[in-house]
């Protein structure tokens, strides 16, 4: 099996690991900082009205966690590619 096929298989498996729980587990709740902050604000000022509401209501808390994890993975990939590019460029420059 070629290296590129192995990498593709690993990527497909990683996506499946992230997507399958979203499909199988419905209406689960994961608490976060936003929910905790909302509770504290309601304790301090019960009449507080938020400035705006979310445009899109996500189906569950796990979706929000998935999007955050994907954002972190994308950011880490960009940083890794940047380091790889500069290290490769430096090695090529030192050969000359």
Q: Residue 64 burial by CB count (10 A; 0-12/13-18/19+): exposed, middle or buried?
A: middle
Return the closest-CA partner of residue 26 out of 64, 63, 77. 63
pTM of the model: 0.43
Tens of pLDDT, residue by residue over 9-53, are 989 999 898 888 777 777 766 666 777 888 888 899 888 888 877
Give the max Cα distance, the chain: 69
pLDDT on residue 78:
94
Sequence ranges of the domains in the chain: 3-50+60-94
């Amino acid at each position: 099996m070629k290296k590129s096929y192995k990498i593709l298989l690993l990527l497909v498996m990683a996506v499946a690991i992230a997507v399958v729980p979203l499909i199988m587990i419905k209406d689960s709740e994961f608490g976060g900082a936003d929910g905790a902050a909302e509770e504290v604000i309601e304790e301090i000022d019960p009449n507080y009205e938020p400035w705006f509401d979310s445009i899109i209501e996500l189906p569950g808390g796990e979706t929000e966690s998935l999007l955050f994890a994907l954002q972190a993975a994308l950011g880490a990939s960009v940083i890794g590619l940047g380091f790889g590019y500069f290290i490769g460029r430096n090695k090529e420059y030192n050969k000359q």
